[in-house]
Amino acid sequence: MPRDFDPEDDEYVAEAKQRQVNIGLRSLRTPEEFLESLYFNVSYGVYSQHRVRYLKQKEALKSAGMDTKQVQDKWDIWLESFKRQHPVFNHSITTGTSRLRREETIHQFRLILETPELAPEGLHKEDVLTAMATIVGFQDKMDALQGLTTPDAQAKRDALRAQYYRVLESFSNNKPWLNELFYSVFVPLIGESWLAKYDGGNININTGVLV
């Protein structure tokens, strides 16, 4: 939602916008908060793609019984350089605010999905809303399994991760306007380490547990 009021808003428009703020349908951000969120989301998408590739290589080498030191060293050098170039990302990762940021993002998704007509119009609005709904649906199903430690619960979590990953990856393919939602919100939810193992064929998926 827009972060501020337009100078040309009349008193009725301003009142309506203030009411949306009061009930949580609209939030106000300072320019600093807006830019910080923008920088983090863009940089996290780049980081996530590199990390998944690194973990896939590492998993493949481990499965083949080969040494992973060279891959690990290459990743460490890249990560340190990346953190220096992206101080906002580095601060969020080291202070743990990235997790809180994702939780707040999903909360905002829920508010938007409840009243999609209030979302700003754009070329790809329907794609964005569909991706949001998919991410929220995944989080709801994972929340229902939270705290359960039985083998059946773990099998369901793995099956859900695989199912939603295939769906959202296919839907986001060739849609760069969904990159931030996919890499900065969804991939961290399923976990880069899990994704690397899954793509490497090291996780057995039993779709029957979801029936």
Q: What is the C-alpha separation between 157 and 210, in angstroms, rounded? A: 9
Q: Which residues of the chain have pLDDT under 50?
A: 1-5, 10
Cβ atoms of 52 and 192 closer than 8 Å: yes
Q: Pull the structure tokens for residue 41.
A: 């989301």
Q: Quick one: which of 141, 127, 130, 126 has its CA closest to 189?
A: 141
pLDDT of amino acid 175 = 93
pLDDT of amino acid 64 = 83
DSSP letter (8 states) at residue 182: I
DSSP letter (8 states) at residue 185: I
Structure confidence by residue, pLDDT tens digits, 165-209: 999 999 999 998 998 899 888 998 999 889 888 887 888 898 888
Cβ atoms of 185 and 106 closer than 8 Å: yes
pLDDT of amino acid 184 = 85
pLDDT of amino acid 73 = 93
Cβ atoms of 210 and 163 closer than 8 Å: yes
Q: Could you give the residue ranges of the DSSP H alpha helices within the chain?
A: 11-22, 31-63, 69-85, 87-95, 97-114, 125-144, 151-172, 179, 187-190, 192-199
Q: Pull the structure tokens for residue 98.
A: 């990235």
pLDDT of amino acid 2 = 45
Contacts of 89 (CB under 8 A, 6+ apart): 39, 40, 43, 44, 47, 82, 83
Sketch the domain layout of the chain as residue ranges.
17-210
Q: What is the C-alpha separation between 140 and 165, in angstroms, rounded? A: 15
